[in-house]
Amino acid sequence: MVSFRKSNPGPVRYSAATLARKGLSGDDWPRVWRDHDLRKTYDVIIIGGGVHGLATAYYLATNHDITNVAVLDKGYLGGGGSGRNTAIVRSNYLTPEGVAFYDRSLTLYNSMAADLNINVMFSERGHMTLAHTDSALRTMHWRAEVNKLQGIDSSVIDPQEVKKICPSLDITSHPRYPILGALHHPPGGIIRHDAVVWGYARGADHAGVHLHQKTEVLDILCEGGGLADGKGAGGKVTGVRTNRGDISAPIVVNCTAGWGSLISNMAGVKLPIVTHPLEAAVTEPVKVFLPAVVVSGSLHVYVSQTDRGELVFGASVDPLATYSMRGSLSFTEELAGHILELMPGISKMRLLRQWAGLCDMTPDYSPIMGFTPVEGHLTDVGWGTYGFKAGPVSGEQMAECIATQQTPKLIAPFKLSRFETGELVGEKGAAAVGH
Amino acid sequence: MLLVPCPHCGPRNQSDLRLLGEAVPRPNPNTATRAEWGEYLYLRDNPADYVTETWYCRAGCRRYFTVERHQATNEFRNPPLPGDKVGNSTYTTITVGSSGKQRGANEGEAS
């Protein structure tokens, strides 16, 4: 049952002309996506309505003509990691596999506004990862060389150049960790993360995908496996049980963040994931003074200024593994101390609010993508602290993986079996704090 | 900030301790397969429920102990008491040489 408002059947194209027409006529805008009744059967069920799940659905429909697809979310679209991250995108990673993968994502982000016909407010303002120690500087040089070999614009700059780009940074030798240099990555920047979610949701809905909010997956139904109820290795997926009834489907994709282990456990697949919260905070808005994204691994902080003028801070993950998203005073205290080391001039600014999101941390700081030992159960999980920037490429590659039933080359290094064979993709040097 | 029930020091601030993660039994190194090593090193249950985990009291007694904590509410259950044989034996015990002699980290250095 389609429930677009009757006066506006079908989605409209967003443009200045539409805005003027709607503004003058006072017509309602159509809903961005529709509600549907749950079908009994889908070709593909995607669990998790964030950037990853919606992008997978969108590319399944647009690149591969698979439209009998449902995206299930227990809350609302974009309410998890997609709405809690600090909206930074970049591709200056450490391993060749990581660089190639994230660079493809950046390419898709660059053309996203045109592709999805939505203003995602991508601001390519440059990304600086500060080095405060000799070993950090050495890693920056390493990353710069790996990046350059793959054609990524990335170089190490000295403190004077850092000061030229961001005059508010303290480059003197006074702080406990003085700035010795930085890895400068001009193509990095920030983007409006909600618009990315809405853009993919609108595109997927327009192509015929069903988006089901407030639909919680309670169990994944399997047969033929070695564990209880036919779950586990050697079995295959037959559908899912939700709070709105059972649905059958030959393919069930886990695109959740934070709950990745719990969902795959429902199919009898154990993952190398530990869930940690990551806290972030935002200040009151002030005039624009910070022209780039600034990251400091040693000080566990990254900061950027939004178009509204607020400073958005993120930190490293909390050391405590937990599903609780409570904020803590110790976080605020440490954050304030560290950020004032970098920018003493903002000591009078006030924090507006803080929040936390869940990060599925893997041992090598790389995701787990593709097939699992249970036939028909695919994962796109383990996104740790770097999931948002990989959303578009993950959707594109997972859609290809589902449609062709073969693992695309770009995500082959991120297979689950690497934890048995030892072929880890160690990204800790570029992903542990830096965003 | 959590108060962690150290069996020797009593409740201590979380920042005094280090969480080492779920207590996972170590496979026998002489017979373990690649898959078993992979599972021991990397795979975790990670439930939104009580989990038995290993803590290191780094700023206090500097001993290891295991305790159950709920990963969604952070509540501790069944905290160990002083004198309890605490510590997951498979975590703190290493096998020395081919004689199969056992050496426990909680029992001091053997030789």
What's the CATH number where B74 sits?
Answer: 3.30.2270.10
**Consecutive H or E run containing A317:** strand A311-317
Using a CB-CB distance cutoff of 8 angstroms, which residues of chain A are in contact with residue B23? none
Give the per-residue pLDDT at A297: 87
pTM of the model: 0.90
In one-letter notation, the amino acid at residue A257 is A
A130: phi then psi, degrees, rounded to nearest 5: -75, 145
Q: Does residue B99 lie within any of the structural domains? A: no
**How close does chain B come to A318, measured CA to CA in Å?**
11
**What is the residue-averaged pLDDT of chain B?**
78
Task: Provide the ipTM.
Answer: 0.83
Q: What share of chain B is helix, strand, coil (3-state, %, to 5)?
A: 15, 35, 50
Residues with Cβ < 8 Å from A302, sequence gap 6 or more?
A86, A88, A293, A294, A295, A296, A313, A314, A433, A434, A435
Across the interface, of B2, B39, B41, the residue whose CB is closest to A320 is B2
Per the structure, the complete domain to which residue A331 belongs is given by 127-188+274-361
Give CA–CA dist A378/A41, Å, rounded.
18
Using a CB-CB distance cutoff of 8 angstroms, which residues of chain A are in contact with residue B45? 261, 265, 270
Question: What's the DSSP call for residue B50?
Answer: E
Subunit contact A324:B34, Cβ cutoff 8 A: no
Tell me if A355 sits within 8 A of A378, measured CB to CB.
no
Q: Does residue B101 lie within any of the structural domains? A: no
Q: With an 8 Å Cβ cutoff, is B36 touching chain A?
A: no
Give the per-residue pLDDT at B78: 82
Give the per-residue pLDDT at B109: 35
Helices (H), A68-192: 81-84, 96-110, 112-116, 134-149, 159-165
Collapsing DSSP to helix, strand or coil, A177 comes out as coil
* CA-CA-CA-CA torsion sign (A331, A337, A339, A345): positive
Question: Could you give the number of structural domains in chain B?
Answer: 1
Q: What is the pLDDT along chain B (111 residues), one digit of tens a residue?
A: 789 999 888 899 998 999 999 998 899 999 999 889 999 999 999 999 999 999 999 999 999 888 999 999 999 988 877 666 544 443 333 333 333 333 333 333 333
**Domain CATH for A340:** 3.30.9.10
Q: Does residue B100 lie within any of the structural domains? A: no
From residue A104, how far is each of A258, A284, A297 by CA, in Å? 24, 34, 24
Q: With an 8 Å Cβ cutoff, is B32 touching chain A?
A: no
Q: Does residue B49 lie within any of the structural domains? A: yes
Residues with Cβ < 8 Å from A429, sequence gap 6 or more?
A94, A139, A142, A143
Q: Does residue A217 lie within any of the structural domains? A: no
**How close does chain B come to A368, measured CA to CA in Å?**
12
Across the interface, of B1, B48, B72, the residue whose CB is closest to A328 is B1
Q: Does residue B105 lie within any of the structural domains? A: no
Give the per-residue pLDDT at B21: 92
Q: Does residue A324 lie within any of the structural domains? A: yes
Give CA–CA dist B60/A295, Å, rounded.
34
Per the structure, the complete domain to which residue B41 belongs is given by 3-94
Question: Could you give the number of structural domains in chain A?
Answer: 1
Mean pLDDT by groups of 10 residues along chain A of 435 residues:
42 90 89 93 97 97 96 95 94 91 94 93 95 93 94 96 95 92 96 96 94 97 93 94 96 95 95 95 95 92 94 91 88 91 94 94 94 96 93 97 96 93 80 58
DSSP one-letter string for A135-160: HHHHHHHHHHHHHHHTT---EEE-HH
CA nearest B34 in A: which residue? A420
Give the per-residue pLDDT at A222: 96
Q: Does residue B102 lie within any of the structural domains? A: no
**How close does chain A come to B86, measured CA to CA in Å?**
21
Give the per-residue pLDDT at A382: 95
Tokens 């040089």 belong to residue: A141
Q: Does residue B66 lie within any of the structural domains? A: yes
Question: What's the DSSP call for residue A238?
Answer: E
Subunit contact A273:B46, Cβ cutoff 8 A: yes
